[in-house]
């Protein structure tokens, strides 16, 4: 590695929060462009980024949630195995969260789970893309558009709130006050 003379000062504090805040950023960019009736290609790109980052944020949060509550699982090292495993979010929710909370989990909030499955479907269409150009049709119910980007962000908020309610723990501040959280991080990083 050679020294280029540049110093880059970057401090990533919380990956789930960073991704969630980025999802909001791209959603807002898409809304502003759409309001100006501007470049629809960029609207699609921003919505795609928002949807993917929302889902990534939720998956990363699940792993950090398990890590934070690893002592409640009881078997030393089991939490780390769960985190490193290829288990889906739903599998972790169904199998690991009850070990942490001593409560059977329920998918009683049908709306959040319906939204989860809907956004997961779109994420999978993007991740395993098979040439379907209709995915960017702004009127496609299961496509990349502002409505689904908003739905993704809201689903993440609801799911993270639900996880914390189950564990009797506080919802992270970046869920309900992302701008204040981001501003605090920038201030702490002297950026």
Helix and strand counts by DSSP (H, E) for the chain: 9, 0
Location of structure tokens 């909001």: 24
Chain mean pLDDT for the chain: 86
Task: Kindly indicate the confidence band of residue 12, based on its pLDDT and cuts at 50, 70 and 90.
Answer: low
- pLDDT (0 to 100) of residue 79: 72
CA distance 145 to 156: 17
Decide if pLDDT at 3 tops 50.
yes
- Tens digit of pLDDT for each residue in 142-176? 999 999 999 999 999 999 999 999 899 999 999 99
Decide if pLDDT at 118 tops 60.
yes
Closest to 68 in 3D by CA, of 180, 183, 168: 168
Decide if pLDDT at 179 tops 50.
yes
Distance of CA 184 to the CA centre of its chain: 20
Question: In the predicted model, what is the mean pLDDT of residues 130-140?
Answer: 85
CB atoms within 10 A of CB 105: 16
- Percent of the residues in the chain that have a pLDDT greater than 90, as a whole number: 47
Phi-psi region of 113 (alpha: psi -120 to 50; beta: other; left: phi over 0): alpha
Rg of the chain over all Cα atoms, to the nearest angstrom: 18
- pLDDT (0 to 100) of residue 1: 47
Decide if pLDDT at 25 tops 90.
yes
DSSP assignment of 80-93: HHHHHS---HHHHH
- pLDDT (0 to 100) of residue 98: 87
Which of the listed ranges 2-16, 92-106, 134-148 does the model predict with the highest average pLDDT?
Answer: 134-148
């Amino acid at each position: 590695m050679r020294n280029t003379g540049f110093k880059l000062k970057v401090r990533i504090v919380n990956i789930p929060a960073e991704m969630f805040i980025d999802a909001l950023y791209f959603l807002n960019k898409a809304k502003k462009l759409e309001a100006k009736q501007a470049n629809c290609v960029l609207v699609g790109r921003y919505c795609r980024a928002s949807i993917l980052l929302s889902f990534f944020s939720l998956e990363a949060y699940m792993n950090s949630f398990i890590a934070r509550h690893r002592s409640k699982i009881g078997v030393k090292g089991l939490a780390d195995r769960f985190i490193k495993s290829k288990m889906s979010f739903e599998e972790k929710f169904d199998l690991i969260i009850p070990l942490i909370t001593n409560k059977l989990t329920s998918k009683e909030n049908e709306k959040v789970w319906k939204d989860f499955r809907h956004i997961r479907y779109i994420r999978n269409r993007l991740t395993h893309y098979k040439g379907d150009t209709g995915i960017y049709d702004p009127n496609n119910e299961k496509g990349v558009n502002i409505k689904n980007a908003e739905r993704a962000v809201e689903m993440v908020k609801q799911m993270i709130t639900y996880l914390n309610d189950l564990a009797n723990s506080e919802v992270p501040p970046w869920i309900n006050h992302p701008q204040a959280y981001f501003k605090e991080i920038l201030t702490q990083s002297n950026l």
